[in-house]
Structure formats: C-alpha cells, structure tokens
Amino acid sequence: MKIKSLSRGPLTIQIGLNSLVGYLFLKVLALKFGTSAQKDGFDIAYSVPFIVMSVSGFTFLHSIITTQFSKMLANESRHIDSVFSTVLTCMLCLGGGFVLLCMLLSRPLTGLLAPGLSPQMQQETQRLIVAMCPLVFTLGISTYLSAVLIAYAVPVTMEFCQLITRLGVIVGVLILRQHYTLMQVAVGLVAFSALVMAYQWNLMRRTTGIRYRPTLHWSQPEFIGIAQQGMGFLVAAVFSQVSMSYMRRLATLDGPGTTAALTYAFSLSAPLSMLLGKPLALSAGPEYIRSYEVGDMVTARAIFLRCLAFCLVASAIAVTAISLFATPLIHVLYGGGRFDLASVMKTTGLFRVLIWSLPPSIILWVTLMPLLSADRSHTAAGTYVAGYCTQLVMSYLLFPVSSRFGPAWAYVLAISLQAAIGIAYVVRGLARNLERARCSA
C-alpha cells in the first residue's frame, strides 16, 4: 500500500480548532465558576482520566505508535493487524485496572491530589472523578486510533476527539444557559467522546483495512520495539503525571482559585506550543524517519535544522508579543461573570511565567520523533524523565519562596532542560551517522 506524505494544513486546522474550542469550553465555565473552589475541584477531577490515559500508554505512546507503524508500512510488514490488536489489548487491560482502582479509591485519591479543598468540595470532586473515569477508554482509544491513522497519512490528530466532545458540551451548555452543573458537564464529556470514538473506529476500518482481534502476540519484533520504548515512556509518564499532580496539589495549598487560574493560564500557553510545533512534528517527523532509515543523513539533518530554525523564530515573535499584552489578553478572553478583576490578575501573573515555556515546548515537539528513531530505544524517555524530576525538585524548593509562581517557574525550567537534552542527542546522533557514512565511503 503506497502511503502519501501527510499535509500539515489539516493537522494545523484541527489543532487550531481544538485550541479555540478548548478556550470556549473554559470560557463558559469561567463565566459561571470563575476562579472558585468549585472550578478547582472540577480541574482536579478532570485531570484524573488524563493521568490514567498517560500511564496506560494511550497518550505517551502516540508518537511511538506513529513512528513504528510508519516503519512497518515502509517495510511492508505483514504483522500490522496483529501488532495493532496486541498493543490495544495491552493498553485496555492496563487502563481498565487503573480505572477500577481510581473508582474504588476515589476518596483517598481526592485527598492526595487536592488537600487544600474543603471537605464538602472534596466530596464533590470525588463524585466527579468517578463520573469522568470512562473518558480513559473513549479519549484513550481515540488517541490510539489517531496515531495509527497519521502513520497512514490520514490527518486525524489526537485532539480530534476532544475537539468534537467539548464542542458538543458547549452547545449543550448554551442550550441550558446558566442552568447546568459540573456533574452534567462531566456526563456530557463522556457521552460525546463515546460517539466520536465510534466514528474514528469506523474511519480507521474503511481507510486502513486494519481489523482488531483481542489477541496477544508478544513475540513479534514490531511489538517488542513498541514495548521496549513504551516501558521507558511508561516511567516517563509516571514522572510526568506525578510532577503535574504535585503542581496542582501545591496550587490547592496556595488558596482557593489558584488551581483554576493555573488551568486558565495553561489553556493559553499549551495550545500555542501545539499549534506551532505539533503539525510541524507530525508532517516533518515521518519524512525525517524515512530519510534516517534509508541512511540519507544529509536530508535528515536538513529537515531537523529547518524545523529547529522555524521553532526559534516563531516562538521568539510569539513570546515577545504576548508578554507585552498579557493582562488585556486575559481580560478580553476570560473576563466577565464570575471571572472578576482578582481572577484576571491571578491568571495573568501565572501566564506571564508559563509563556516562557513556549520556545522549549515547540522545540520538544520537533525533537520527539528524531529521538524515537535514535539507536538507543530509551533516549526519548530518559530525556523526559530528566525534565520531570527537575520539575519535582524545583517545585518543592521554590514553592515556599515564591508561592504559586515557584511551581510555574519549575515547569519552565523542566521543559527547557528537556529541549536542550533533545537537541543535543539528535545533533550528536546525526553527526555520528554522517561520520560513519563518510568513513564507509
């Protein structure tokens, strides 16, 4: 089967629309809940399915799956159906076990993640966690299908399911106006994501011909390759979620509304890095891998350096412009209703710090697939773990000194370290392979 190159345009559009819809989703919540303790509880509960998705492999394996399926297609492997089924079965079993634990231990889990919330809000958060646990399967499977579809040059990003899901909830909220609860939002997220997952499954069957069978074929080399990199990324996923959960935990200890303000600030900084970096990574990444696999290191190096230059220029312009207009930007985007002046100022302060994570975040997107194609299978995972460990340590050290701003700066430092290590590994690997090519010639 001949696979066409993946166009960057549809990917950029989806990621951009997801960022817009994500903003609108938070906007409708901001108008009713602002930076309140209720919003803190919802943000903590909403993070739990994503924690489970990450440590189950659905999220962190996305780039690994795309990379490995691209290799199998390039090599015309006959084991694609089997590898697809084995990987999905493993992730479903792992995710199902974690979901069961979260439901059974929702009360102590809430106390661990949000010790600063009142007992009443902790009970509400506990109920929201249980209600949103099915998102692990709906969003998780959709994310996995996206990784496979991208390898087949079908432009469906991992954000596609979230995009349609949150759009459905927004429409429902507008119909209900202000007469809705956070529990209704949670149920709506689960219902709409299930519908989108079903659509993606049908799309995959029609465009790729892949069929799922609940089997486990451990011995296939392609699955072993995914598992080897996946084990390293499982460790990285654990450290990632621990570091971000610790960040939110400290935010609840800082006082009511800080967790919500952190969510609003991330909702502006994180989508920018995805919008600028992810389409570039998903379009140029497979091209880089193909050049790397056939030994064309000159082309691979040119692709990487071109992407790196774009990241630096684009992020420098974005950070400069946004830093100058941070306060009016927050006021225009989220101001109104319960999102008062105090909410604007609290969110702006955190946003001014987090925006400095934009340059390294974009670079990290670009270095991910080159790291995954490196000779050492755990290079990428080790890069991420180093950053997350740094974030944990720096959050612990800076929070007593700078309160809510300490964990925010710790996040910026961690992303910057990951980007620096990633560039160093990729450049070193390309130089080593180029030298080998010259010697063999």
Using one digit for the tens of pLDDT, what is the confidence trace for 293-330? Answer: 677 778 878 888 888 888 888 888 888 888 888 889 89
Of 68-82, 99-113, 397-411, minimum mean pLDDT range = 68-82
pLDDT for the residue numbered 8: 62
CB 186 within 8 A of CB 128: yes
Burial level of 58, CB count in 10 A (0-12/13-18/19+)? buried
pLDDT for the residue numbered 348: 92
Average pLDDT, the chain: 85
Cα 18 versus chain centre, distance: 12
What CA–CA distance (Å, rounded) separates 59 from 65? 10
Q: Which residue has the higher pLDDT, 396 or 1?
A: 396
User: Rounded to a whole number, what is the distance in angstroms from the first to the last CA of the chain?
Assistant: 33
Q: What is the mean pLDDT of residues 127-132?
A: 95
Tokens 């992303």 found at: 415
Per cent of the chain over pLDDT 90 is 34
CB 43 within 8 A of CB 288: no
Structural domain contains residue 218: yes
CB 264 within 8 A of CB 27: no
Structural domain contains residue 1: no
Structural domain contains residue 2: no
pLDDT, tens only, 209-243:
888 888 787 777 777 777 776 777 778 778 888 89
Long-range contacts of 95-102 (CB under 8 A, 24+ apart): 95/52, 95/53, 95/56, 95/57, 95/58, 95/136, 95/137, 95/140, 96/137, 98/52, 98/55, 98/56, 98/136, 99/52, 99/133, 99/134, 99/136, 99/137, 102/48, 102/52, 102/129, 102/130, 102/133
User: What is the span of the domain harbouring residue 162?
Assistant: 8-440
Q: How does residue 2 score in pLDDT terms, banded at 50, 70 and 90? A: very low
Q: What is the mean pLDDT of residues 21-49?
A: 90
pLDDT for the residue numbered 295: 74
What CA–CA distance (Å, rounded) separates 331 from 348? 9
Report the length, in residues, of the chain. Answer: 441
Structural domain contains residue 140: yes
What CA–CA distance (Å, rounded) separates 53 from 161? 14
Burial level of 230, CB count in 10 A (0-12/13-18/19+)? buried
Contacts of 113 (CB under 8 A, 6+ apart): 44, 47, 48, 245, 248, 249
Position 154 pLDDT exceeds 80: yes
pLDDT for the residue numbered 127: 95
Q: How does residue 283 score in pLDDT terms, banded at 50, 70 and 90? A: confident
Structural domain contains residue 43: yes
Total domain count for the chain?
1
Q: Which residue has the higher pLDDT, 109 or 294?
A: 109
Q: What is the mean pLDDT of residues 46-66?
A: 84
Position 354 pLDDT exceeds 90: yes
Position 276 pLDDT exceeds 90: no
Q: What is the mean pLDDT of residues 88-102?
A: 91
Position 374 pLDDT exceeds 70: no
What CA–CA distance (Å, rounded) separates 347 from 118? 22
Structural domain contains residue 379: yes
Q: What is the mean pLDDT of residues 16-44?
A: 89
DSSP readout, 39-51?
HHHHHHHHHHHHH
CB 282 within 8 A of CB 157: yes
What CA–CA distance (Å, rounded) separates 357 from 355? 5
pLDDT for the residue numbered 7: 58
Structural domain contains residue 203: yes
What CA–CA distance (Å, rounded) separates 304 from 309? 9
pLDDT for the residue numbered 375: 55
- Number of helices (H), then strands (E), belonging to the chain: the values are 17, 0
Of 90-94, 217-221, 338-342, 403-407, minimum mean pLDDT range = 217-221
Angstrom distances, CA of residue 89 to CA of 54, 83, 137, 149: 16, 10, 12, 18
Q: What is the pTM of this model?
A: 0.76
DSSP readout, 50-81?
HHHHHHHTTTTTHHHHHHHHHHHHHTT-S-HH
The two tokens of residue 398 are: 């800076």
Tokens 């960022």 found at: 19
What CA–CA distance (Å, rounded) separates 200 from 141? 9
- Angle, vertex CA 90, rays to CA 86 and CA 95, nearest 5: 150
pLDDT, tens only, 173-192:
888 776 788 999 999 999 99
Structural domain contains residue 241: yes
Q: Which amino acid is at 398?
A: L
Tokens 């992020």 found at: 315
Q: What is the mean pLDDT of residues 37-58?
A: 89
Of 232-236, 241-245, 363-367, 425-429, minimum mean pLDDT range = 232-236
Q: How does residue 1 score in pLDDT terms, banded at 50, 70 and 90? A: very low
